[in-house]
Structure 1
Amino acid sequence: MDSPYSKELHVAIGAIQSAAKISQSVISAEDKGTIKKDDLSPVTVADFAIQALLTATIHHAFPADKFVGEESAADLRDSQTLRDRVWDLLRRLEEDEKQSLCKLPESPDQMCEMIDWCGFGEPGGPGAGRVWVFDPIDGTKTFVQREAYAINVALLEASKQVLSIVGCPTLPVDAEAPVSNTTVDPSGQGCIAFAAKGYGTYVRTLTESLGSTQVRKIEPLPETAMPQDLRAVSCYHMLDSGVDDAHQAIMERLGISSRGCDFLAWVLRWVSLGLGLANMTVWVYKRRDRGGNVWDHAGAMLLFEEIGGKITDIDGKDIDLSVGRKLTSNHGFVAAPRAIHAMVLQTVHEVLQAQGRVHLLA
């Protein structure tokens, strides 16, 4: 892809390739160094190591840029054993790493400092400048089960998505729907999906092939999409934050009989949409005060938008990435081809009203 972000893309792809080596070394281990955070979600030594790697590499290339990421280094500062394990992962990567683009922290203290740059970072508003957003492992719950996960890297400018790079170690570059948490790439190569604002969405292998790496541009969605063309991606009975019976009723009312693609990780749901493996998703939270995390959606949504998809919340509002680490200005998600997004959104409202859940609408 020839875009103004060629250097950023080159650096980010190299960093994700190195990050995937870390993740694959941990996913194959019996002890993944898993702990539970305050919100009861899991985090592993791979999450910390990858966030440090991504930050160090991109900071070296773009020293003026800022960062937001899911993890902070508090647990590493509290546990010398955990901190040593994360540092050891990075040191082992350094011994094997031959790519000059990959940069690592110079010490355990700097490692913790760089992780905290992300853990305390904010996307900021229109005057925030360039901010990189990382989810080092999206889908940690499935990762610890040796199933699907993604490494999400996004670049925001003035709080708007301009670049998305997502590493998907378990997803084949030529994947066909339906795909799910248990999908395995038989080649072991995985894929990287990437997009730049105004330049389309592309996919390539995650690992370098023996020959030249093939890059494929994803075909745009038809401008005259019809309801019968809808193909869903969702998360079936894996999270307690959504209204499963509403999601099912919405699919039935839209005439969608197949469960389609099924992923726990939000980033992989956006990847499925961006690669054309699905073309719609709906998510309604059980409460209005529940919302998404910026690292689960920033950048990855661009993959779908760049092929002609439209994404709003269930109130029809654009997703606001400027408000902070939590997407507090929005409730849920509705994504569909632009031509029929309004119809899908109306269906969501009709189902929630019929189910007596008007309180979930604005």
Structure 2
Amino acid sequence: MSYEKEQTVAIQACLQAAKLCERVRSTIPVAIEKVDHSPVTLADFGSQALICHRIHSEFPDDPIVAEESPKVLLKPEQADNLKQIVAYVKEEHKDADEQQVIEWIGYGTGHVSQRYWTLDPIDGTKGFIRRDQYAIALALIVDGDVKVGILACPAYGDDGGLLFYAVRGKGAYSQSIKAFNTTIPTRIYTVIDNDINNFRFVESVEAAHGDQAKQTKIARIIGIQAAPIRMDSQVKYAAVACGQAAIYFRFPNPHSHGYRENIWDHAAGAIIVQEAGGKVTDMDGKALNFRDNEKMLDNRGVVVSNGSIHEKILEAVKD
């Protein structure tokens, strides 16, 4: 199956969402605290509304497993925020109303199935709020295998950001977001420099998202002496895919033993790195499980590499 239609629809949906997100970020973004005390912004909800509406319109039988739920917006104290979200969505759909926007966001409360989409409408919300890196991440999964992946990264690369996308078996590509319709896609590859002395590794800005001490230790063991590049969101996958970094480590935080990764935080980035020539596994060398649950319950941590150094990393972790 070519997945040509799926790729085209997903790209256009993410470009729409990127436009909305940057519109919100041109002001000081309003953050709402979720039940788990993590932040969510008007842009998260607006992005999810646009993408879920587009995917549901074209593929009505496909469930969408997204990060956000519209429930928080139904609270009376969120009435003004809901009106503002609708105003942003109206820039793309002038006839949208509050009931429709809530419904569109709610399309993202689907469940993992044989064929489904997974979406993080803004991956790296803290980076978005402080006007740093963030990504809009969308992936199609069939029989547990990621078939299409899109990362819109409005703050990465050239002016206006870069869009990264891949279809299984067809390579990974990047393209300007701002000039998408007038530029030619660039095929990307993970290995830019084969000299390990020049390798860099990338990790999260947030110390709580991993084990930075262990990540640095493993980097030193395999011969990387340079300081880590720290970024928010799945932009880290993009950095490996286009050769800016050779490795992305995300080891479990030693203070959060029971934590498991969410599928929407890794699916889109994983296929882009793999199609660029890299490898993605957990710390034990197992493939990431996108088949069974919205949490990757069978996986411990994540290791992303340019491919050439992957087995050396896993051996160092094992030792």
What are the superposed Cα offsets for residues 262-297 of structure 1, whole Å, 9 maximum, x if unpaired? 2121x1111111122112122211244112111110
Rounded Cα–Cα distance in structure 2 between residues aligned with 1:229 and 1:196: 30
Q: Percent identity?
A: 30
| 1:18 aligned partner, one-letter code | Q
Given that 1:231 and 1:256 are in contact with CA atoms closer than 8 Å, whether structure 2 keeps it comes out as yes
Question: Which residue pairs with 1:216 in the alignment?
Answer: 186
Match of 1:284 among 251, 261, 285: 251
Structure-2 residue corresponding to 1:206: 177
TM-score by length of 2: 0.91
Q: How many residues align?
A: 315
| Structure 2: gaps (5+ residues) | none
Matches within 5 A, 1:166-185: 166-172=151-157, 185=158
1:199, 1:220 → 2: CA distance?
15
2:8 matched residue in structure 1: 10
Other-structure match for 2:100: 110
Q: How does 1:88-127 map to 2 (within 5 A)?
A: 88-95=87-94, 106-118=96-108, 120-124=109-113
Q: CA–CA distance in 2 between the matches of 1:229 and 1:304?
A: 19
Deviates more, 1:277-286 or 1:292-301: 277-286
**Preserved contact between residue 288 and residue 331 of structure 1 (Cα < 8 Å):** no
Counterpart-to-counterpart distance in 2, 1:107 and 1:137: 22
- Which of 143, 146, 149 pairs up with 2:131? 146
Task: Tell me the distance in 2 between the aligned counterparts of 1:75 and 1:219.
Answer: 41
Aligned with residue 231 of structure 1, among 196, 200, 225: 200
- Once the two structures are TM-superposed, the CA of residue 45 in structure 1 deviates from its matched residue by 0.6
Shift of 1:226: 7.0
Structure 1: which 5+ runs fail to align? Answer: 96-103, 173-184, 351-362
In structure 1, the residue corresponding to 2:284 is in which secondary structure? coil
Q: Distance in 2 between matches of 1:241 and 1:302?
A: 21
Q: Distance in 1 between matches of 2:277 and 2:148?
A: 16
Which protein shows a greater Rg? 1
**1:161 touches 1:299 (CA, 8 Å); kept in 2?**
yes
* Separation in structure 2 between the aligned mates of residue 159 and residue 107 of structure 1, nearest angstrom: 35
Deviation at 1:254, TM superposition (A): 1.6
Pairing 1:1-362 to 2, within 5 Å after superposition: 4-30=2-28, 32-78=29-75, 79-95=78-94, 106-118=96-108, 120-124=109-113, 128-129=114-115, 131-172=116-157, 185=158, 187=159, 189-208=160-179, 212-219=182-189, 221=191, 227-228=196-197, 230-236=199-205, 238-265=206-233, 267-285=234-252, 286=254, 287-350=256-319
Given that 1:226 and 1:340 are in contact with CA atoms closer than 8 Å, whether structure 2 keeps it comes out as no
SS at 1:88 equivalent: helix
Taking the aligned partners of 1:122 and 1:261, their CA distance within structure 2 comes to 34
Q: Secondary structure in 1 aligned to 2:140?
A: strand
Residue aligned with 1:240, SS: helix
C-alpha distance in 2 between matches for 1:55 and 1:241 = 27
Residue 92 to residue 330, structure 1, CA distance change in 2 (3 Å) = same
TM-score, with structure 1 as normaliser:
0.81
Contact 1:260 1:278 (C-alpha < 8 Å) held by counterparts: no
**C-alpha contact 2:65 2:119 (8 A) present in aligned 1:** yes
Q: Determine if contact 2:241/2:276 at 8 Å carries over to the other structure.
A: yes
* Cα distance change of structure 1 residues 213 and 241 upon mapping to structure 2, 3 Å threshold: closer
Task: Provide the alpha-carbon RMSD of the alignment.
Answer: 2.1
Once the two structures are overlaid, the 10-residue window that deviates more, 49-58 or 8-17, is 8-17
- Contact 1:162 1:299 survives alignment (8 Å): no
How far apart in 1 are the matches of 2:210 and 2:288? 18
> Could you tell me how far apart the structure 1 residues matched to 2:111 and 2:72 are?
20
Q: Stretches of 4+ moved more than 6 A in 1?
A: none
Contact 1:202-1:216 at 8 Å conserved across structures? yes
